[in-house]
Chains A and B, each alone.
Chain A
Amino acid sequence: MTSLGGSSSSTTEYTVRVPKNTSKKYNIMAFNSGDRVNCSTWTQARMERDMSARRIYGEEETQEGAAGSEFGKKQREEARRKKFGIVTREFKVEDQPWILKVNGKAGKRFKGQKKGGVTENASYYIFTQCPDGAFEAFPVNGWYNFTPLAKHRTLTAEEAEEEWGRRNKVVNHFSIMLQRRFREQERGEDEDDEGEKSGKKKKKKGGRGGDLRIHDLEDDLEMSSDDSDSSMGEDGESKTKAKKDTGKGKGKKKKKKSNEHEALEDSDDGDYEGLEVDYMSDESSSDEEPEKGKSTKGGEEHPKGIDEASESEEESEEEKQNEEEAKEEEEEEEGKKTPVQVEKKKKKDSSGESESSDDSDIEGETASALFMKKRTPPKRGGGRGSAGSSRTGSRPGTPSIDSASTSNTLRAAASKLEQGKRQTQGPSTDSPAAKRLKMEPSSQSPVPSGKTTPQPPSGKSTPSSSDVQLTEEAVRRYLIRKPMTTKDLLKKFQTKRTGLSSEQTVNVLAQILKRLNPERKNVNDKMHFYLTE
């Protein structure tokens, strides 16, 4: 060891030795920094290899010789394995994890798993300083990452999944492990005769505890709880199935009964998670009553289908109708409309004509829910010069909003077509937004129907330039073939193909349906029309 004196630096030299005797193999014991392991606090430690993997590798040897063995079985098995290319990895003791127990029974336990790839590209050495000042370098044989083992009880994977399914319902988390402990106790005690009795008691307690727990949170909740109950029951099924059932069966029965009464739809876990609730507003620029009715729906798309609208409006229609009528100015259309309305209501026809109430309802709702309040676009008034101005005014001009929002080209094209084809129809130029197909509240609808009754039919037949014509015959054909909802029918007669604007399509279709008077049936909660001929 030489020390060189330097002016600003001092260096010392040490020899490095790499001892040749390899009796001891050096390994690294690495801990996670988060575990805050301090080796100096260890008073006592024991370590051994974890051989639990051996039984996986070593196959169960059947009795060698005499009973139960076959002549040449081993060779045959080996030949078979080779033939199929099954390569069984050998069980290497060197690669097995370590189990480290610190400070005796009450202390911590660690599991050290070997980290692979450490010695592949670079070698690690441990440099220690010897008393004589020289350094000794030992090669590192292996690297083991030691992680602390949980001493508290944990749930198995199946149990954990089960509990996850109940996460929204269970509030008392302590009871989860308590239940598990009871279950384990039962399983253990089942073996003794005496134990059984106490097990029953305990189980009942547990069952009652379980019942309590379940009932705590559920008044009238769905049946998914039943499933979890039964699965919990199955958990302890090993020997205590019958007993368990008696205990938990009560809970189950109760549940089932309550559920029978309610006939609720089963909801799966997570059904309620992403639920959006439409904001309920009691104010609106216009038409407050209809909005109330609408607001109960919540979360629905604003462009409602004709049928939805009509159905939903069913109840509110009557009251609204009156109110609407009171609001409406007197016009021919009104006069015609009311009987039409009544008719429609009775027949449950859907159409744009169906009502100003409908229209305004929807308009009102959409207006309040989506658009800014009190938008009174001038275009609207200008566009529909005809009667119903108050009505038109009352409708916060959604069409114009729509027209503003839709592409001008679409509107222009549609309006051109319409103008070209239906000059008699008056200022029905606005084409609603692509969105607002069905329930287009337009003053036009009353206009044509009011003014010129033959128009709708003519309206149907004249724009016959495109492939699909919105004729009575076409509709009849469809309805004979299979029952359809109004939505479906509308889809068949798309605006671009028929050349009609969506409002017109709606009106015309409504007329046709009125005339056809198809039969209705409810399929999947939707009203389907069909004809039989």
Chain B
Amino acid sequence: MSDKTEVNLTGVKQSKGVWLVKVPKYLSHQWDKATEKGEVGTLTIGKKQGKTEVHFSLNEELTALGALGEKDASLQVPRDHPFTMNTVGGQTMAVFSHSEAGEISLEGMVVHRAECRPVVNDNYMKLKKLQIQETTKPQRLSQQLEKAITTVFKPVANHDFNVEYEKKKKSDGKMVRAERQVVLDMLFSAFEKHQYYNIKDLVDITKQPVTYLKEIMREIGTYNSKGAHKSTWELKPEYRHYQSAEEEEEMQTA
């Protein structure tokens, strides 16, 4: 259980009212391109014959669709966006923020919901068309080839990988039987790390021929043919001291 974070309730105490505004994706993209200062546009709130009208106007420099700095005359993001205001309608919505430091604070209550809509004109339609074209493009493309591929899967006398393997084997040579004591030391140190080992892994660790290794293992360990650790070797109980790492005791009978 992590510690509970005290929620900073100052926002609510002051009854700060905020607006929850739904903004189209392209507009939020443009806002991301804003400068450091962060100014993106102007909000005009007016009262016309008793009705409140809210209108957002995007800044000039942010209307370009392309990357910042470019002036793409062909397609521009619309500038005028009237807001449609809705009431919250009984649902209680609050805004809380949490920082990277883990502080949580309640910023305020939502008093109005709004939707930012663009003014529909030809420019906007073109923009939308472009968007749709982008999204309808399939992610995967099937392409027909003119010629059959002949560069891979050629018949080979011997594969590269195989050749390398054989060379390695030759150079390393057969595994030589080391001294019994040496091998035992190796085994015991290995079994200190883990309890169960596959014979292949042991061969890998000790670099001993399998028969020799098996002989030694039969002396000091047992083979699990069934159970959770199937087909693995483990040390005999008298050799096991898994609570304490005492090598001398393990080696006593060796």
Contact = CB atoms under 8 A, between A and B. Distances in A.
Contact of A15 (B42, B93, B192): B42
A142 to B, nearest CB: 10
Size class of the B contact interface (CB-based, 8 Å): 35 or more
Contacts of B92: 30-31, 33, 35, 37-39
Contact of A26 (B28, B42, B107, B194): B107
A110 to B, nearest CB: 11
A318 B56 CA distance: 98
Interface residues of A, number: 61
Contact of B193 (A35, A43, A65, A140): A65
B48 A69 contact: no
Contacts of B53: 11
B94 interface: yes
Contacts, number: 195
A72 B106 contact: no
A46 interface: yes
A217 interface: no
Nearest to B243: A67
B109 A39 contact: yes
B22 A124 contact: yes
Nearest to B56: A16
Interface centre among B36, B92, B193 (most CB of A within 10 A): B92
Contacts of A67: 195, 242
B186 to A, nearest CB: 13
Contacts of B195: 66-70
A29 B9 CA distance: 13
Interface stretch (B11-19, B65-73, B155-163): B11-19
A13 interface: yes
Contacts of B91: 30-33
A19 B108 contact: no
A404 interface: no
Contacts of A466: none
A40 interface: yes
Contacts of A70: 194-198, 229, 232
Contact of B41 (A16, A20, A42, A44): A16
Interface of B: 1-7, 9, 12-13, 15-16, 18-25, 28, 31, 34, 36-49, 53, 56, 89-100, 104, 106-110, 114, 190, 192-198, 201, 229, 232, 242
11 contacts: A11-B45, A11-B46, A18-B34, A18-B40, A28-B93, A30-B91, A42-B9, A44-B6, A121-B25, A128-B19, A128-B107
Interface of A: 6, 8-20, 23-33, 35, 37-40, 42-49, 51, 65-72, 100-101, 121-128, 135, 137, 139-140
